[in-house]
Structure 1
């Protein structure tokens, strides 16, 4: 940007070549002109057509013009000092020799020679080759170069450095021996900028977490770790499908159905496309009958209202929930996502119900494993509804029991 200025500017990688068009098979121009290379399969060669050559020259001039504008901006941004690094290697020496020869052929017409360049550095080399200060480094670079000094203004200095000079130099010593005035305030500001580092700790905190993720790292009870038997591994997938089927039934069933009509209720849900036949076979009918006969089902039917599958999103730092493993997230403005199986609205408060279909379980295990989950639900519901949660319950279909947490 032309408006930006800085105390010091470093212009580097000046030897990178402009991207050429001549390696392409087709060249286009903004004026809708097209140039092709012709293929000759017999000789396995490609020939540039006249339109191709004309467009190549035209496009190269336009690109060079744009690159020259960029170079101008780079050279005019420094308030105090501009540093331009020019690599010295075999490639750059060959470039210098070619530029020197072109200058000689063009009678040291720098404008004419400048039209043939392929990088920003070549424009700078052309300027140096016709400056009287170039004689200061000519012997170090290439004594046989032909030069013809055309101007001698004193706007810059030329210095040569080897790789070893740079590696073994002491920055503080260089500053002490510098031949230019150093602004202490600017120097201190630069040092502070170099020392600055962004606090990235917050970027490592997730923006969203589910309730399950939030409680997953809670410390587990110490004990003996047992290897999972092969038959349990094989049955894990059917167990998951069975649990999903039970949850879906409780999500859509008619709570006023009679326990003896359980099979009719399941068939009705199949007819309404809530289940497939294979999914319905996974539902344990006897356990569902026990649910319809339970005190929880009677409580649901006598409630003011109830909500099934109540989803919510709440800001983490609004919850009254503590988990040392997730303290960074809980203190952030990240969002917690959850779905509550059932909310029962009663005159004196709200009751939260979470269905669990775990097999081979116990009341102690369910309390231990899911108390944190119910605690999060309770805090979220009280924030959302601005009403007290009077109870948090787990209904275990396997135990056919309502467990107060």
Structure 2
């Protein structure tokens, strides 16, 4: 289901509006299909398994596995039960009823619907229509939504999703984005723990990068940074369960501390009074200038949001923007890293200039892999 997290929020709002009784109606081709969905609720975790949540095709695909943990539902449906299953004790009264089409027709005493006769009647009626009317009907049935391209985009975009952005902030020209069919924005959270907090045997580079950024954000710069202080900070974050021990073991603290021994790092410490780290921002841009599948005349606003690693104002009253990167440099190809993040820094520059109402004089990429600050 596209936009799973947003759909979950909508479902939550809908389910929590009821004050006394909530009636949910839905359907599956057969009762056996519904029972299969109910049995997906098996498992040792309170939270439904990732696979169950990710592969849902409708709201019932979430609701049924969840209520299947209720003892009354399990007994009523004679669901498979094992000691490993998490059966939730609840005071809520839940009734589950299966009805077929025949059951509904019989209960409501509705006349039986003859589909074949209805189709034959439509064919007869079509003979009375003029060729012009038939043509118009065919055009309507074959019609396409005028703004189809907009349905594959979103009004809320993260900087990380906008792969190539401004070629030049002054020209306000943007490389067009071709949205993927799966989803246009980052509202895809599965409500699980942050990636760098998940207990995994294999630690991903992204988890290490997130933890390194957190260290650089949390380090107190009112006193000169040292390797020992970085180590103490990391130990505290692990003790507070902000960073897992597995991720902490993969962090090269000497490499992180190396930043503060570079000219850029020393300037960051020296200008701590004007220093801002992890600065969130948002910008409104015309959709037509962002997405390749939209005409440039489309001016519907797109909200672009992100977090820049930091900036400071130096002794010459110049704004200096910087961004850390923990990417591995393949075969020493620094130019590939510069090209990859050039557009991102351009957008950060544009946003920061709007916030401060003054130009950005310098912007740097700091590469931990080779301890190098590159000015763009």
After TM superposition, the score normalised by the length of structure 1 is 0.45
Larger radius of gyration: 1
After TM superposition, the score normalised by the length of structure 2 is 0.48
Which structure is richer in relative contact order (CA contacts within 8 A, separation 6 or more)? 2
The structure richer in strand per residue is 1
